[in-house]
Amino acid sequence: MKSIHAQFAWLGGESCALNVRITTNNGLISAIEPNSAATAKDLRVVGVVMPGFVNTHSHAFHRALRGRTHSGAGLGDFWSWRTLMYQVANRLTPENYLALASAVYSEMALAGITSVGEFHYVHHQPDGKHYQDPNEMSKALIEAARIAGVRLTLLDVAYLHGGLNGQKLGQEQQRFTDSTIENWLSRVDMLGASSAMHTVGLAPHSVRAVHEVELAQIAKHRKNRVVHIHVSEQPAENEACRAATGRTPTKLLSDAGLLGSFTSAIHATHLDASDIALLGQSKTFSCFCPTTERDLADGIGPSAELVAVGSPLCLGTDSHAVIDMFEEARAVEMHQRLISNKRGVHRSSELLAAATVHGASSLGSKIHGLVVGAPADFIAIATDSVRLATFDGENGAAHLVHSATSSDVRDVWVGGEQIVKDRIHRSVPNIAESLRTSIAAVL
Ligand SMILES: [Zn+2]
């Protein structure tokens, strides 16, 4: 049994509670007591304790592109960025990806991320041949998360086609594919049982790469696993889907039996009114990745409409142009303000929930947050910086969403174990150097 005494804690509302004792036992939260005096045994936390961030959409190796693809005239669009990204994808090996991903997940831990959903599609050797263990790359990612001390949902990607009209996969996409949906399902089944620190989910890449009959197969063989899929990130994807099938990607997923509270629609940017209604009725999650979507000039998704009809929002750092879940949460609201000429489209508590508890549900967790019975995954935000020096708990959610950065995360606990203490990671002491060397190896 361990206990901490927090000066402030965000328990889900607009304001923060004061003087909150949090007791943990066997990795779970066993008591939350606001307005309590500290006892001699308590670890005193000055600042704000809140649930750990849940990053629902990550491609760990994209971190290698940070600082290399963002500026200059004539940068092109999503599709020209993808060419650069594929070059890095084809330099990955199980060894260098283990080093890179453990550095990236450690950077996430430092930013207060306690769970990550890794949308993983670099499965095989560059020529498409399997490694001796066909899940060698997946296992490298599971090991990377273990080193970093964060929970992982390995969203194993099915990638079967180069488009909706029978286009073959390109040379640079050979290592992503298992050729058939049956091969993919049996390889994913071979990943075996989950552990306390990792689970496996199913991730058809997109309606371009996995067609309707295969999507229906995934629905049939889901076995309680969550489903994540890129949906309508680009207008071109919608146009191709309509031309080939007469339907939108969202309608196609609905017809394949793949919408529901077990599914997350990643990006969900270019939706029409009927798509929004389908996602809402089915309680499908909408995962926004605003710092990536704006970097890639994707557009701004209809977050307010989705929330209004019942699709919970969750958030991902996706390409890792930055790893800062406060920035993702803030961006959802700020992008809406710019396009609606209205302020306060989303409540701040709703934005923090998107970055924490809804994200955990999207990854299949039954309970998350500062509640009794949840895993003891929480973080402490320092309030001694110039950014948060006037923090007093009143409107605490708004103060955090609109002013805090990942640099304000001081301490991180996962399963009751402290993995970051005073901004130092317990097992990866020099994360910046780990990033430098592991990224240099794949460029
Ligand atoms: Zn993605």
Tens of pLDDT, residues 377-407: 999 999 999 999 999 999 999 999 999 999 9
Domain annotation for the chain: domains and CATH numbers: 2-51+369-425 (2.30.40.10), 53-362 (3.20.20.140)
Angle between helices 325-340 and 396-403 (to 10 degrees): 90
Mean pLDDT of the 59-76 span = 78
pLDDT at 337 over 60: yes
Per-residue model confidence as pLDDT tens digits over 126-177: 999 999 999 999 999 999 999 999 999 999 999 999 999 989 999 989 999 9
Task: Give the chain's mean pLDDT.
Answer: 95
Please give the Cα distance from 201 to 214 (Å, whole number). Answer: 16
| Per-residue confidence (pLDDT) for residue 72, from 0 to 100 | 62
Residue 79 scores a pLDDT above 70: no
Is the pLDDT at 70 greater than 70, yes or no?
Answer: no
Q: Of 102, 29, 115, which is closest to residue 325 (Cα–Cα)?
A: 115
pLDDT of the residue at 308:
98
Among 150, 186, 170, smallest CA distance to 82 is for: 170
**413 CA → ligand 1 middle, Å:** 27
HSE value, Cβ hemisphere, 13 Å, CA-based, for 212: 17
Q: pLDDT tens, 254-266?
A: 999 999 999 999 9
3-state secondary structure of 72: coil
Q: Catalytic: which of 5, 59, 228, 267?
A: 267
Residue 424 has pLDDT above 70, yes or no: yes
On the 0-12 / 13-18 / 19+ scale of CB atoms within 10 A, 422 is exposed
| Mean predicted confidence (pLDDT) in 96-117 | 98
What span, in angstroms and rounded, lies between the C-alpha atoms of 218 and 304? 30
The answer on pLDDT for 55 being more than 90 is: yes
> Is the model's pTM score more than 0.75?
yes
Q: How many helices (H) and strands (E) does the chain have?
A: 15, 16
List the beta strands (DSSP E) in 222-371: 227-231, 263-267, 285-288, 313-315
Comparing C-alpha atoms, which of 192, 202, 148, 185 is closest to residue 364? 202
pLDDT at residue 225 greater than cutoff 90: yes
CA of 340 to the centre of ligand 1 (A): 26
pLDDT in the model for residue 83: 79
Spacing, Cα 165 to ligand 1 middle (Å): 22
Query: What does the angle CA 105 – CA 107 – CA 109 come to, to the nearest 5 degrees?
Result: 70
Catalytic residue among 156, 295, 298, 318: 318
Q: For residue 3, how far is its CA from the centre of ligand 1 (angstroms)?
A: 38
5: β partners: 21, 44
Active site residue 133: no
Interval between CA 229 and ligand 1 midpoint (Å): 8
Q: Is the backbone of residue 341 left (phi > 0), alpha (psi -120 to 50) or beta? A: left
Could you tell me if 420 and 110 are in contact, meaning their C-beta atoms sit under 8 angstroms apart?
A: yes
Contacts of 324 (CB under 8 A, 6+ apart): 111, 291, 317, 405, 406
Q: Is the pLDDT of residue 74 over 70?
A: no
Q: Is 270 marked active-site?
A: no
What distance in angstroms lies between residue 109's CA and the mean position of ligand 1's atoms? 20
Render pLDDT for 29-48 as a digit per residue (tens, 0 to 9): 999 999 999 999 999 999 99
pLDDT confidence band for 193 (50 / 70 / 90): confident
Average pLDDT of the segment spanning 195-208: 96
| Residues 6+ away with beta carbon under 8 Å from 132 | none
Share of the chain above pLDDT 70, in %: 98
Centre of ligand 1 from the C-alpha of residue 192, in Å: 24
Ligand 1 mean position, distance from CA 205 (Å): 8
**55 C-alpha vs ligand 1 centroid, how far in Å?**
12
pLDDT at 351 over 60: yes
Q: What angle do CA 271, 275, 278 make, to 5 degrees?
A: 150
